[in-house]
């Protein structure tokens, strides 16, 4: 865990949040500034900066499983959703702990998170 990292703290319950899914490798919680009716962040419990930080396949698989569980629980499996991983400056990444945005519950075709 990186001591100055907010998502390390949330993923490991040092700071509590509005969790929607959790297992040994990942936690998922609601974004504090939702851009859609469903806006959940999926984060690994270990610290990785972004998608190009040698993230183990096991962790990516756990994140993908979390997306599956969240889509079903949020009722957006059929209506559709978007998964976004902002990575680095040109993507506007603000929190430098790997996270996938899961956005759904409205039509997303004309906007982008
Ligand atoms: P980005 O790094 O640009 O992919 O986005 C970071 C996202 O994290 C933004 O959508 C923020 O609203 C969200 N965020 C930042 N801090 C928190 C927090 N403490 N709890 C929940 N969401 C957060
Ligand atoms: Zn972290």
- pLDDT for 87: 97
Reported as a single tens digit per residue, the pLDDT across 69-110 is 999 999 999 999 999 999 999 999 999 999 999 999 999 987
Residue 102 CA: distances (Å) to CA of 1, 49, 74: 23, 18, 10
Residues less than 5 Å from ion ligand 2, measured at CB: 2, 5, 7-8, 47, 97
The CATH number of whichever domain residue 49 belongs to comes to 3.30.428.10
Give the chain's domain count.
Answer: 1
pTM of full prediction above 0.85 = yes
For residue 30, is it within any domain? yes
* Segments forming the whole domain that contains residue 38: 6-111
Specify the ligand 1 atom closest to the Cα of 91. 3
Rounded distance between C-alpha atoms, residue 28 and residue 45, angstroms: 10
In a domain, 95, yes or no: yes
Question: Cα of 43 to ligand 2 centre, how many Å?
Answer: 9
């Amino acid at each position: 865990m990186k001591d100055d990292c907010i998502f390390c703290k949330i993923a490991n319950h040092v700071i509590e949040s509005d969790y929607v899914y959790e297992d040994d490798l990942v936690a998922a919680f609601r974004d504090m500034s939702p851009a859609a009716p469903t806006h959940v962040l999926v984060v690994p419990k270990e610290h990785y900066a972004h998608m190009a930080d040698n993230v183990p396949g096991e962790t990516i698989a756990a994140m993908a499983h979390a997306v599956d569980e969240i889509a079903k629980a949020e009722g957006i499996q059929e209506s559709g959703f978007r998964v976004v991983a902002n990575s680095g400056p040109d993507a506007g990444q603000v929190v430098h702990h790997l996270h996938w945005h899961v956005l759904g519950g409205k039509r997303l075709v004309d906007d982008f998170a």
